[in-house]
Amino acid sequence: MTDSTPIILVPGLLCSPLLYANQIPALWQFGPVTVADHRRDDTMDAIARRILAAAPPRFALAGLSMGGYIAYAVLRAAPERVTRLALLDTGARADLPEQSERRKTQIELARSGRLAEISETLWPLFVHKDRHGDAALKKTVLRMAEETGVEAFIRQQTAIMSRPDSRPDLPKIKCPTLVLVGEGDQLTPPKLSEEIAGAIPNSRMVVIPGSGHLSTLERPDAVNSALVEWMS
The CATH number of residue 188's host domain is 3.40.50.1820
Would residue 76 count as lying in a domain? yes
Q: How many domains does the chain have?
A: 1
pLDDT tens digits, residue range 49-83? 999 999 999 999 999 999 999 999 999 999 999 99
Share of the chain above pLDDT 70, in %: 99
Q: How far is CA 193 from the centre of its chain?
A: 13
Share of the chain above pLDDT 90, in %: 99
Q: What is the mean pLDDT of the chain?
A: 97
Residue 135 falls within a domain, yes or no?
A: no
Domain membership flag for residue 213: yes
Long-range contacts, 188-191 (Cβ 8 Å, 24+): 188/65, 188/89, 188/90, 188/91, 188/213
Candidates 29, 37, 36; CA nearest to 2 is 29
Does residue 211 fall inside a structural domain?
yes
Q: Is residue 101 part of a domain?
A: no
Q: Is residue 108 domain-resident?
A: no
Task: Give the sign of the dihedral formed by CA 69, CA 74, CA 80, CA 81.
Answer: negative
Residue 128 lies in a domain: no
Residue 142 forms part of a structural domain: no
Q: Which regions of 22-80 does DSSP assign to beta strands (E)?
A: 33-35, 59-64
Can you give the pLDDT at residue 3? 81
